[in-house]
């Protein structure tokens, strides 16, 4: 589903021409049903809801109130409503709100990256209800609706997905122009994706404006992971799915779900938001939508976090099978098969592997039967090793015990082997 918006002025009467559609909308059938965009026209104090399911249609139109002072927001406290493309990041119900916000409120992500670059300040620009009669240009910068209207439109809002596009005045344009823009943007990101998967650092940076230097500190680690992945027989790709394109004031905003496909699995790797110039389609900014400020301050990278977990998730299936075989050998008192699951340099409780197996052999002779099982398996990556923990249930003819088993595994002869082993009763 894709939307495109522009802030250029034109009259609503142009919409009567079947060749003219609102600049913010591109008809596209996503296959997932209709998606929605909210558009606020400050000049007429109107809010529009558009649906896009292969055809574009206006679903709702309602009165709204914007900032008491006309013009685009520039600084905190100027009583102006910002103009641009924003996304809803939270929803507050009436029980959590002061009376002036009415029955519910949707905070937006103002100021976004472009606002920060432009030096615009302020915060807490919301779409919300009210506890008084609605008047034009009566807010402190938020977009205000009647309570019945905010309750109605809430059904169409998906957090970190549904855009609210705030313009001075709507404009309209030919459908074919929108399709050309869509094709250009999609082609750019197809090439961007290829550079990410297979290209060099310099190939990747070609898609970025020379005046904008993206955070590329992760590339060295990604390059190592990529080389390892490319040697695996399983198919691998990085995809941008559910792409949303919006245009305002000469800049495109592209929102997409970043997904890693590996070994038949889809791994979510964050919601990417890109800002592109209209003239050369170069990226002038990027961020992860819905990411908390605390995570931004830590410079968390959802893409790299997902990549680091690729091996761990793949390993977990292999490790679970290995543990099942190990527990089966333990329960059946097959000391040779049991010992095959240990690393040659294993140590535990002051015993090396040879002493450990002698100890287990004596216990096998002592008990008539042994039953050992695992629950709640957790696998964590620690450099080249894996730290495994689970609830171990042990039963013999002499006693029963439940505890937390922790194993440190290492690769030996191409297989995961037990390097260290501890147990704590619970």
Known catalytic residues? 128, 142
Between strands 126-128 and 20-22, the pairing is unpaired
- Partners of 285 in beta bridges: 275
Could you tell me if 42 and 57 are in contact, meaning their C-beta atoms sit under 8 angstroms apart? no
Describe the strand order of the beta sheet including 400-412 as a list of residue ranges.
351-352, 342-348, 415-425, 400-412, 385-396, 370-382
3-class state of residue 91 by DSSP: coil
Q: What is the DSSP code string of 335-379?
A: HHHHHTTEEEEEEETTEEHHHHHHHHHHHHHH-S-EEEEEEEEEE
E strands of 249-332, at which residues? 251-262, 265-277, 283-288
User: Among candidates 248, 280, 279, 299, which has minimal Cα distance to 115?
Assistant: 248
3-class state of residue 256 by DSSP: strand
- Phi, psi for residue 259 in degrees, rounded to 5: -130, 135
- Partners of 415 in beta bridges: 412
Cβ partners under 8 Å of residue 159, min gap 6: 87, 88, 89, 90, 91, 290
Distances (CA, A) of 316 to 74, 76, 383: 51, 50, 15
**Residues 410, 412, 417, 421, CA torsion sign:** negative
Between strands 163-167 and 35-41, the pairing is parallel
376 is written with which tokens?
């709640």
Describe the strand order of the beta sheet including 163-167 as a list of residue ranges.
56-63, 46-52, 35-41, 163-167, 84-87
């Amino acid at each position: 589903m894709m939307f495109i918006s522009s802030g250029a002025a034109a009259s609503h009467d142009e919409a009567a021409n079947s060749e003219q559609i609102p600049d913010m909308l591109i008809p596209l059938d996503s296959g997932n049903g209709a998606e929605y965009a909210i558009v606020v026209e400050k000049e007429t104090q109107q809010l529009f809801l558009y649906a896009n399911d292969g055809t574009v249609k206006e679903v709702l139109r309602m009165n709204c109130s914007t900032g008491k002072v006309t013009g685009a927001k520039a600084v905190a406290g100027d009583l102006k409503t910002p103009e641009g493309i924003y996304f809803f990041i939270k929803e507050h119900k009436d029980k959590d709100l002061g009376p002036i916000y009415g029955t519910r409120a949707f905070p937006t992500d103002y100021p976004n990256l472009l606002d920060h670059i432009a030096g615009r300040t302020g915060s807490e620009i919301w779409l919300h209800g009210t506890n008084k009669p609605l008047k034009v240009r009566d807010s402190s910068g938020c977009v205000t609706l009647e309570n019945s209207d905010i309750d109605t439109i809430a059904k169409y809002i998906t957090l970190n997905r549904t855009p609210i596009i705030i313009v001075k005045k709507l404009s309209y344009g030919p459908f074919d122009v929108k399709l050309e823009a869509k094709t250009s943007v999609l082609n750019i990101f197809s090439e961007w994706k290829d550079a990410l998967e297979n290209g060099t650092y310099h190939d990747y940076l070609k898609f970025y404006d020379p005046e904008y230097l993206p955070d590329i500190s992760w590339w060295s680690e990604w390059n190592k992971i990529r080389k390892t992945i490319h040697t695996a027989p399983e198919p691998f790709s990085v995809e941008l799915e559910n792409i949303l394109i919006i245009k305002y004031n000469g800049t495109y905003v592209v929102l997409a779900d970043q997904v890693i496909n590996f070994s038949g699995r889809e791994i979510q790797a964050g919601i990417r938001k890109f800002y592109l110039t209209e003239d050369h389609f170069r990226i002038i900014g990027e961020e992860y939508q819905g990411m908390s400020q605390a995570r931004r301050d830590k410079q968390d990278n959802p893409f790299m976090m997902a990549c680091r977990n690729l091996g761990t998730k793949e390993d977990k299936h292999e490790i679970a099978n290995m543990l099942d075989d190990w527990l089966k050998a333990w329960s059946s008192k097959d000391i040779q098969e049991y010992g095959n699951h240990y690393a040659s340099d294993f140590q535990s409780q002051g015993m090396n592997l040879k002493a450990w197996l002698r100890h287990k052999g004596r216990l096998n002779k002592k008990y008539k039967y042994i039953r050992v099982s695992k629950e709640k398996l957790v696998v964590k990556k620690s450099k080249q090793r894996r730290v495994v923990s689970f609830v171990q249930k042990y039963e013999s003819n002499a006693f029963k015990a439940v505890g937390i088993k922790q194993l440190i595994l290492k690769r030996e002869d191409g297989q995961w082997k037990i390097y260290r082993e501890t147990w704590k009763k619970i």
